[in-house]
Amino acid sequence: MNSPYPGICPVPHDPEKTAFKEAMRSSAPAMPGIFAWGVVAGMAMMQSGLTLWQALGMTLVVFAGSAQLAALPLMAANAPAMVVFLTGLVVNLRFVIFAASMGPHFAHLPWHRRLWYGYLNNDIMMGFFPQRFPIHTLGQPSGKAGYFAGICYMNWLAWQSGSVLGILVASQVPAAWGVGFAGTLALLAVMIPLVANAAALVAVVVAGAVAVAAYSLPYKLGLLLALVAGMVAATLVDLLKTRMQAGAGESA
């Protein structure tokens, strides 16, 4: 393409950089909630008896809030290491589903990069990525790596900065302040904007009901059950909507 200015070469369009910036803009409203939840996790690590360096190591290496919070009481009770590991694994089984859903979009990338993406993957990614790149975009890699990186790096920075802050101020914040409840409210602020259609609303309602009903299951298996139930409900709503639209088109 010719430049409108003689002697100046046009800057080539980079779809990955464009997608990266788009992802940062889209996910920015969710970052205060992620930061607040990181603060809660950081405080919980210190209040469970971990040292400063143990807490910092856990937040940087594990990087999984729900698994960390599930493992901390077991660690404080001197439970066997295998029990702690298996509990964290079960709590985070939802990421197997997330990876299975998004993995085919990144099949063109080398294994070490996909492994790095596996570390960075997070819950809010499943709220943004499937809306931006639906299933029919498989085989069209343009922009996907940039979009994924834009959300993941924003999320990582928000979580780690909040977690480190929580670790450092844990001894200064009284339990009566109810910071844990504030973290829950922050997560609601993250979730609500992602409920953008009927399928998402049904998924939230069904998953919430199942999570409450299955709360007593061991190893927080109710969370995994709620996730599966929510995904099935959303899929059924989408199928029903597609059939109704097809029927309306045939009748017309």
Least confident window among 37-41, 140-144, 194-198: 194-198
Model pLDDT for residues 51-95, shown as the tens digit of each residue: 999 999 999 998 988 888 888 888 888 888 888 888 788 778 788
- Type of residue numbered 186: A
Same domain, 79 and 121: yes
Instruction: Output 64-70 pairs: Cβ under 8 A, ≥24 positions apart.
Output: 64/88, 64/91, 64/92, 64/95, 65/37, 65/38, 65/41, 65/159, 66/91, 66/92, 66/220, 66/223, 67/91, 67/92, 68/41, 68/44, 69/41, 69/44, 70/219, 70/220
Same domain, 189 and 200: no
Same domain, 202 and 148: no
Q: Minimal CA–CA distance to 166: which of 30, 89, 81, 58? A: 58
Q: Minimal CA–CA distance to 108: which of 231, 12, 16? A: 16
Same domain, 199 and 149: no
Model pLDDT for residues 203-215, shown as the tens digit of each residue: 889 988 998 998 8
Could you count the other beta carbons within 10 Å of the beta carbon of residue 131?
Answer: 13
Q: Residue 101 belongs to what domain range?
A: 15-130+141-172+179-194
Token code pair at residue 126? 């499943």
Better pLDDT: 143 or 224: 143
Same domain, 92 and 205: no
Same domain, 146 and 118: yes
Same domain, 211 and 232: yes
